[in-house]
Amino acid sequence: MRSEAFGQIGLLPHQFYDLSFDEYLLLRKGYVEKVKNESILVRFQTALICEALIGKGNGARFVMDSWQLEEQGELSKDDIKSLLKAKREKEALKRIKQNG
Does the structure show a pLDDT above 80 at 25?
yes
Mean pLDDT of 1-15: 85
CA dist 37 and 16 (Å) reads 24
* CB contact at 8 A, 34 and 90: no
pLDDT-derived band at 97, boundaries 50, 70, 90: confident
pLDDT tens digits, one per residue of 39-94: 888 888 887 787 777 767 666 666 767 666 665 555 666 776 777 777 777 777 88
**What is the b/e burial string over 51-67, where b = at least 16 CB atoms within 10 angstroms of the residue's CB?**
beeeeeeebbebbbeee
The model's pTM is: 0.55
Number of domains into which the chain is organized = 1
Domain hosting residue 12, numbered range = 2-99
